[in-house]
Amino acid sequence: MNQPTPALVTQRAAGRLPRLALLLFCAAYVLPGLFGRDPWRNADLTAFATMQAIAEGRTPWLAPALGGVGVDSALLPHWLGALAIQLFGSFIDPALAARLPFGALLILTLALVWYATFHLARTEAAQPVAFAFGGEADPVDYARALADGALLATIATLGLLQLGHETTPELVQLSEVSLLMWGLAAAPHRAWAARIAMLAAIIGLAASGAPSLALALGVCAMVITARSSFAGVRQMLPWLMAATGLAALLSTLTQAWHWRVDLQAHADDVFGQLRLLLWFTWPTWPLAMWTLWRWRRHWGRRHIAVPATMAAIALLASIIMGGSDRALMLATPALAVLAAFALPTLQRSASAAVDWFSVFFFSVSSLAIWIIYASMHWQVPAKPLANIQRLAPGFQPSFSLLALILAAAATVAWMWLVRWRTSRHRHPLWKSMVLPASGVALSWLLTMTLLLPVLDYARSPRPLVAQLTRLVPAGSCVRAPGQSRPQVAALEVFGDYDVRLRADAQTKLDGCPWLLLQGKSLSPPATPEGWTLLGRLRRPTDRAETTSVYQQAL
């Protein structure tokens, strides 16, 4: 007799993760990185500078710009940050104020992954096999255990670690993708909430800089709902059609359509993109592949079709964009749900392999972080400190008792978890995800406490702007032709400069007597006629590029 599903789960294996432990996992993952650091270079800094400019009224809400040049059309994320700065920026650091709604969105993403898995696991097609003499898992307990596993799998995903803690539009997109997945999962149980969720998710995606992805997900959601055996799910179709149409209209009105296809990069670096996929989505991708194999006769069922379709769309978007890690990040919630459905079918040897790899990898990583910290503060061993001083000249270590206490507590908790997991056989379905998730949370917490000062020094442009303010008074008007958006953002955020990106050395511009030119350290730019070279600056951790500072000759 053929089994209706490949899942054989006893009631003992359907135990839930203690709620306090689950909350501590989430806190250890979400909170580090919110406090005590500058916006870091590139996307994080550019997004924050745009939010701050909107909040301070230096650029319009509907057409934000940096240095007089418009930024991307992801209006919703920039509005969230700007509103948070206006509300909280007067009594806390504006950078922290801008991060608050994005930290809340990360928490929302984790919650939506949990509830999406819970609803999908409660469907009849996803339930484990009923035993002849009873003892199989209760449907609700089984769904709750899988949901715990999906949340842990999300935390364990390596690629989400840094990008999920930035103040960028992609984090809003991540929450919208998770909201759409929850709407599709909860449609049979929460009809009106699911309709509103899908409407908000698709329109929100379009307003967050991903209109093409919003349309692709909307069309695929229509196909899934139209083929559903649930009448309540099929009734979602008009709502999805309306949401997709409104998203297309909104994207057209806000001129959000941009050509981002880069097939040439895909053809030139296939192995690089494969490498990105393998490490970025670890450990969910092998578990997701195992799910697709073990549940291969159930691909048309909602608990497989919904996450598999959403993961495939995000993966395809990453590929056609030349291997975009930010597009690939949008696949992480769906991959985590797929990974959860591998847990009831996972063999003990595979589970043990995941555990021992996690123990080895994260223990070594944590030990390395502690060695670097000891070297910075006690010069024992001396080699790590020498390397830091060579790579980041001018850095001065600073001691924080709170950071040390948090790091020590996290390390003790990791050792306790390793002993708990390896001391004897554990039955809950989510057991295989405990060590990967706790290892990622531990590494992130140690990095954001023990190593935060040196990371902030290396990744923040503040040291460069501090050098510039010795030559050019803060708040001055500076011409910066050829400067990138992150460089312009650094000037506006840390120096309060009025940057004119479109003004070159020959442009007649009253009241703007300073000029910045970017170049290579070995071949700096020539001094333009009518200007006097004041100095050449470079970031302490960048020896390749230099910024030449000029003053207009009188």
- The residue among 298, 330, 345 that closes a domain is 345
* Pair 26, 137 in one domain: yes
* Pair 379, 362 in one domain: yes
Kindly state whether residue 11 falls inside one of the protein's structural domains.
no
Kindly state whether residue 495 falls inside one of the protein's structural domains.
yes
* Pair 471, 426 in one domain: no
Q: Which domain holds residue 365?
A: 348-459
Q: Which run of H or of E encompasses 498?
A: strand 498-500
* Pair 467, 455 in one domain: no
Residues 154, 278 contacting (CB under 8 angstroms): no
Kindly state whether residue 3 falls inside one of the protein's structural domains.
no
Instruction: Give the span between the Cα atoms of 41 and 458, in whole angstroms.
Output: 10
Count structural domains, the chain.
3
* Pair 79, 196 in one domain: yes
* Pair 391, 250 in one domain: no
* Pair 298, 235 in one domain: yes
* Pair 443, 488 in one domain: no
Instruction: Give the span between the Cα atoms of 262 and 34, in whole angstroms.
Output: 33
Q: What's the Rg (C-alpha) of the chain? A: 26
Q: Which residues have a Cβ under 8 Å from the Cβ of 90 and sit 6 or more positions away?
A: none
Question: CA nearest 190: which of 245, 115, 114, 111?
Answer: 115
Residues 344, 128 contacting (CB under 8 angstroms): yes
Q: What is the pTM of this model?
A: 0.93
What's 298's DSSP letter? G
CA distance to 176, 211, 213, 243, per residue, from 236 (Å): 17, 21, 19, 11
Kindly state whether residue 64 falls inside one of the protein's structural domains.
no
* Pair 446, 542 in one domain: no
Kindly state whether residue 535 falls inside one of the protein's structural domains.
yes
Kindly state whether residue 31 falls inside one of the protein's structural domains.
yes
Q: Is the peptide bond before 283 cis (omega within 30 degrees of 0)?
A: yes
Kindly state whether residue 5 falls inside one of the protein's structural domains.
no
* Pair 328, 352 in one domain: no
Kindly state whether residue 44 falls inside one of the protein's structural domains.
no
- The residue among 297, 328, 345 that closes a domain is 345
* Pair 287, 368 in one domain: no
Q: What is the pLDDT along the chain (554 residues), one digit of tens a residue?
A: 345 788 888 888 888 888 998 999 999 999 998 998 999 988 999 999 999 999 999 999 988 988 888 887 789 999 999 999 999 988 999 999 999 999 999 999 999 999 999 999 998 888 888 776 667 788 899 999 999 999 999 999 999 998 999 999 999 999 999 999 999 999 988 889 999 999 999 999 999 988 999 999 999 999 999 888 787 788 889 999 999 999 999 888 877 777 666 666 555 577 888 899 999 999 999 999 999 999 998 888 999 999 999 999 999 999 888 888 999 999 999 999 999 999 999 888 888 888 889 999 999 999 999 999 999 999 889 999 999 998 888 898 899 999 999 999 999 999 999 988 877 656 788 888 999 999 999 999 999 999 999 999 999 999 999 999 999 998 899 998 888 889 999 999 999 999 988 888 888 888 899 999 988 877 888 888 889 999 999 888 888 889 999 998 86
**Residue 65: CB atoms within 10 Å:** 16
Dihedral through CA 173, CA 177, CA 178, CA 181, nearest 10? 170
Q: Which residues on neighbouring strands pair with residue 514, listed in sequence order?
A: 478, 551
- The residue among 459, 486, 502 that closes a domain is 459
Q: Which amino acid is at 54?
A: I
What's 527's DSSP letter? P
* Pair 371, 327 in one domain: no
